[in-house]
Amino acid sequence: SGKWAMAEAILRELEEKCATPTAKLRRVADAMTVEMHAGLAIEGGSKLKMLISYVDNLPTGFGALECWLRVMVKKFDVLSDYAFCSRFRKIGFFILNEKGLFYALDLGGTNFRVMRVQLGGKDNVIKQEFDEVSIPPQLMTSSCNELFDFIAEALAKFVASEGDDFHLPPGRQRELGFTFSFPVRQLSLASGTLINWTKGFLIEDAIGQDVVGELTKAMERVGLDMRVTALVNDTVGTLAGGRYSNPDVVAAVILGTGTNAAYVERAHAIPKWQGLLPKSGEMVINMEWGNFRSSHLPLTVYDYTLDAESLNPGDQIFEKLISGMYLGEIVRIVLCTMAEKASFFGDTIPPKLSIPFILRTPDMSAMHHDTSPDLKVVGSKLKDILEVPNSCLTMRKIVVAICDIVATRGARLSAAGIVGILTKLERDAPKEGEKQQRSVIALDGGLFEHYTKFRECMKATVDELLGEVSDSVVIEHSNDGSGIGAALLAASHSQYL
């Protein structure tokens, strides 16, 4: 009826502006590849920072030894749940040459996690414990000391709860792998300065500081004796964790609060690298792809509004189209326009609708997945979050359509990013006269894990863009790979090795 005509028009325009036909995605993927080259060529050569991670010793091909381990693990699989087995697999290679107790700390979004892992031991028993603490929102815009004191205190509390079943050899200092998922210019594997904040964090006095130094000082302030032996981005941790379990893993992508990717580059393909070439001939690159930008990205007036109102206007444009922190917020901004221009919610605009970030991506996802005939999940979300008491089916259907358009665009763009990486690695097309290599991409993050329609659309789009090569490309969920990966990197760079 006439009442909804204006809303329908806004919806159709949104759909048109957010469209991502195959040809457009190919241009996005190609632009990603071009920017990767530019970022590797010289420092500051691209919006893609293409940061050198100092991780150059990812294990490859274990031959007979690996086969034996895989058989052992397979036997184990029958007895235990998959999650534990995938962890066991990751740690498997270390059992042979590394043992001991290692800690990991993961700071990168809304929560931070502390973890301890016991590797090896007399009977090869592996134990793992973790604790998750949500970061008080006011700390995200506080001071460097306040943030790191909070982290160090939580870590000290966790260390104090260490049971007798974890063993630190006498005379040894506890060692930590620090997963810090913000852009860092690394000076070595265990040090690096913060370039800028993303994802709702803004702590001015931390920018330019060595985050390992800051954490170390905070640990001293709370009387915790621990050494950081590896500083890793979550993408790099996920890649390291993924590689131990599967030698075909070539890249890792995070789709969580933010989004980012890392991949294994040939060291000689990094012109800006000034140091000695690593023995392995490889180097893991943290792309910081959230900051990717291209004229081919389908940006709308809603995206410009979101960007302008963000803590980092002009930055992280790819991330703002794709990741969990922003998808729900885009939907809210579209609804604001519908409320203003089409009286979508009636004569008055619901006051709650004007609160930034009130509509979270998990709520958007719940509405998007509503299969009930009267869309009752949508109805109750509108009631509970926006205080819209009575919503008719037409209104609910339009809300679902907005969620679908916004999620589909994000999922398809992330697929184009993945294809851009595969193109850079020359794994996007069949090679003449050669058997197609398998390429595995390790994926992690709450958005990928929980937003089923997003995940499925992303996977289908990767296949769509790759055509026949899609048979040899696998998207694999790497559960808590970043935490385990950081602990493994801490272990492999222990001061006692």
Q: Where do contacts with ligand ADP occur on this chain (CB under 6 A)?
A: 108-111, 256-257, 324-325, 361-362, 365, 445-447, 450-451
On whether the CB atoms of residues 103 and 174 are closer than 8 A, the answer is: yes
Among 108, 177, 328, 379, binds Mg ion (CB under 5 A): 108
On whether the CB atoms of residues 53 and 285 are closer than 8 A, the answer is: yes
Report the nearest approach of ligand ADP to the CB of residue 343 (Å). 29
* Encoded amino acid at 486, one letter: A
* Encoded amino acid at 290, one letter: G
Segment lying near Mg ion (by CB under 5 A), choices 62-70, 104-112, 136-144, 209-217: 104-112
3-class secondary structure per residue, 159-219: HHCCCCCCCCCCCCCEEEEEEECCCEEEEECCEEEECCCCCCCCCHHHCCCEHHHHHHHHH
Segment lying near Mg ion (by CB under 5 A), choices 251-259, 284-292, 353-361, 371-379: 251-259
409/20 Cα distance (integer angstroms):
6
Count each helix (H run) and each strand (E run) in the chain, helices first: 16, 13
Report the nearest approach of ligand ADP to the CB of residue 77 (Å). 25
Q: Give the one entry of Mg ion, ligand ADP, none that residue 365 binds, where binding means its C-beta sits below a cut-off of 5 to 8 angstroms depending on kind.
A: ligand ADP
Binding mask 53-92 for Mg ion (x = CB under 5 A): ----------------------------------------
Q: Give the one entry of ligand ADP, Mg ion, none that residue 324 binds, where binding means its C-beta sits below a cut-off of 5 to 8 angstroms depending on kind.
A: ligand ADP
Shorter beta-carbon distance to ligand ADP: residue 233 or 461: 233
Report the nearest approach of ligand ADP to the CB of residue 290 (Å). 11
Task: Compute CA 358 distance to the chain's CA centroid, rounded to the nearest angstrom.
Answer: 22
Token duo for residue 331: 């939907």
**Position with the least CB separation from Mg ion:** 108
Pairing of strands 184-188, 111-119: unpaired
What is the set of active-site residues? 113, 181, 234
Instruction: Give the side-chain half-sphere CA count within 13 A for 437.
Output: 13
DSSP 465: H
Shorter beta-carbon distance to Mg ion: residue 120 or 256: 256
Shorter beta-carbon distance to ligand ADP: residue 87 or 174: 87
- In the numeric block, the tokens 């930590």 are attached to 176
Tell me phi and psi for residue 496, to 5 degrees.
Answer: -100, 5
For the residues of 103-139, what is the DSSP string, one character each?
Answer: EEEEESSSEEEEEEEEE--TT---EEEEEEEEPPGGG
Q: Give the one entry of ligand ADP, Mg ion, none that residue 334 binds, where binding means its C-beta sits below a cut-off of 5 to 8 angstroms depending on kind.
A: none
Report the nearest approach of ligand ADP to the CB of residue 309 (Å). 18
Shorter beta-carbon distance to ligand ADP: residue 100 or 445: 445
DSSP 469: G
Report the nearest approach of ligand ADP to the CB of residue 383 (Å). 19
306/268 Cα distance (integer angstroms):
40
Report the nearest approach of Mg ion to the CB of residue 238 (Å). 9
Q: Give the one entry of Mg ion, ligand ADP, none that residue 450 binds, where binding means its C-beta sits below a cut-off of 5 to 8 angstroms depending on kind.
A: ligand ADP
Q: Give the one entry of Mg ion, ligand ADP, none that residue 446 binds, where binding means its C-beta sits below a cut-off of 5 to 8 angstroms depending on kind.
A: ligand ADP
Pairing of strands 439-444, 249-255: parallel
Please give the residue ranges that form the binding site for Mg ion (CB under 5 A): 108, 234, 256
